[in-house]
């Protein structure tokens, strides 16, 4: 009887042990060969949330990439670090990519994120609209940045001539621009998405322009990369794009995590402000974020460089990685 019982137990236990062993063998082991990268970003803006989420939630690591990040507040500085080989990837605006490539660089936009700018122009109470900026001072962070592009674009849309009708002043940062506006040193200032996260600070100002309301496609908060590095490491580049695109999906599918990341990196703990920022982000964030030539044309039109007038918009983008992930079902699978 005892022998029969032991045989029965063996019949039950051994297959179970084998199944467990097989499952253990199939489970991915902790890797020791992660591709280690720094992916800096150019602004504390809500459309950087996919990067923050992908890092904080370990999403990049699922695809074999270990990413660190830090703020580098100017797109041109980020582009310089890419060109120097210091880091092959960054989060930057298309204006800096255009300027670099027209001067001999080899940088491409791989992932768009959003196609609209989260920028506003805040003005002193005496300024009621953009036309009132004639003869006034308008603050930007620095010449050649996205804030500079925004200032010039909005002024031109209102029939004003930058530099001639309105003085554009480089202030250094969004915080400095706000301080200068509060002190009366400037009459208006371009602000990033921080204005969305801290609305109470702007009660005394007039919002005379919001770029979301303009018929303008413009890539900012995009994943950009050095083409020569991408060409030499196509599989690694695809893994980086996988992680970033999965970060976008996580913003949509894991709201608490997205809110936590936005709050952490923007130093915001106001629930109402975070909720408003999240609603705006998910309204504008592309689930299939392949860059298009149309998104670059506006930047070329506003560029001061002579070569921009005849440049092909397609030379500044590489949609192939996102297109690959769409065709093989990877992106669709992220939302199931």
- At 184, which CATH number? 3.40.190.10
Write down the mean pLDDT value for the chain: 87
Of residues 242 and 196, more confidence is placed in 242
Residue 25 falls inside a structural domain: no
Is 80 in the same domain as 152?
Answer: no
Q: Are residues 249 and 148 in the same domain?
A: no
70 occurs within a structural domain: yes
Give the max Cα distance, the chain: 103
- Domain containing 156 equals 120-213
Do 242 and 112 belong together in one domain? yes
> Which one of 193, 213, 233 terminates a domain?
213
* Closest C-alpha among 275, 279, 281, 272 to residue 248: 281
The answer on 313 and 228 residing in a single domain is yes
Domain count of the fold of the chain: 2
Please state whether 315 falls in left (phi above 0), alpha (psi between -120 and 50) or beta. alpha
Burial string for 286-311 (b: 16+ CB within 10 Å, else e) reads beebbbbeebbebbbebbeeeebeeb
Question: What is the model's pLDDT at position 196?
Answer: 67
Are 137 and 286 part of one and the same domain? no
**Same-domain check for residues 74 and 100:** yes
Q: Report if pTM > 0.75.
A: yes
- Residues 210-232 have pLDDT tens digits of 898 898 898 988 999 999 999 99
Domain membership of residue 198 (yes or no) is yes
| 238 & 324 share domain | yes
């Amino acid at each position: 009887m005892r022998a029969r019982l032991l045989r029965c137990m063996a019949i039950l236990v051994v297959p179970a042990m084998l199944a467990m062993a097989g499952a253990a063998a199939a489970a991915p082991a902790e890797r020791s060969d992660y591709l280690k990268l720094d992916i800096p970003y150019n602004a504390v803006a809500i459309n950087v949330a996919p990067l923050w989420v992908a890092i904080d939630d370990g999403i990049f690591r699922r695809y074999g990439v270990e990413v660190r990040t830090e703020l580098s507040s100017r797109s041109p500085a980020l582009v310089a670090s890419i060109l120097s080989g210091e880091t092959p990837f960054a989060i930057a605006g298309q204006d800096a990519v255009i300027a670099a490539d027209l001067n001999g660089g080899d940088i491409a936009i791989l992932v768009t994120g959003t196609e609209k700018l989260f920028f506003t122009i805040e003005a002193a109470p005496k300024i009621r609209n953009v036309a009132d900026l004639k003869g006034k001072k308008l603050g930007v962070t620095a010449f050649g940045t996205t804030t500079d592009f925004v200032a010039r674009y909005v002024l031109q849309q209102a029939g004003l001539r930058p530099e001639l009708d309105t003085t554009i002043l480089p202030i250094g940062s969004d915080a400095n621009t706000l301080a200068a506006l509060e002190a009366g040193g400037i009459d208006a200032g371009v602000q990033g998405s921080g204005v969305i996260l801290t609305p109470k600070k702007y009660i005394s100002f007039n919002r005379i322009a919001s770029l979301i309301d303009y018929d303008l496609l413009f890539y900012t908060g995009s994943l950009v990369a050095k083409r020569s590095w991408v060409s030499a490491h196509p599989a690694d580049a695809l893994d980086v794009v996988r992680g970033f695109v999965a970060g976008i999906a996580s913003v949509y599918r894991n709201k608490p995590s997205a809110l936590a990341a936005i709050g952490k990196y923007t130093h915001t703990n106001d629930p109402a402000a975070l909720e408003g920022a999240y609603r705006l982000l998910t309204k504008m964030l592309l689930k299939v974020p392949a860059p298009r030539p149309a998104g670059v044309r506006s930047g070329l039109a506003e560029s001061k460089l002579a070569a921009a007038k005849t440049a092909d918009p397609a030379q500044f983008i590489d949609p192939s990685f996102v297109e690959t992930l769409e065709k093989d079902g990877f992106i669709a699978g992220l939302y199931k």
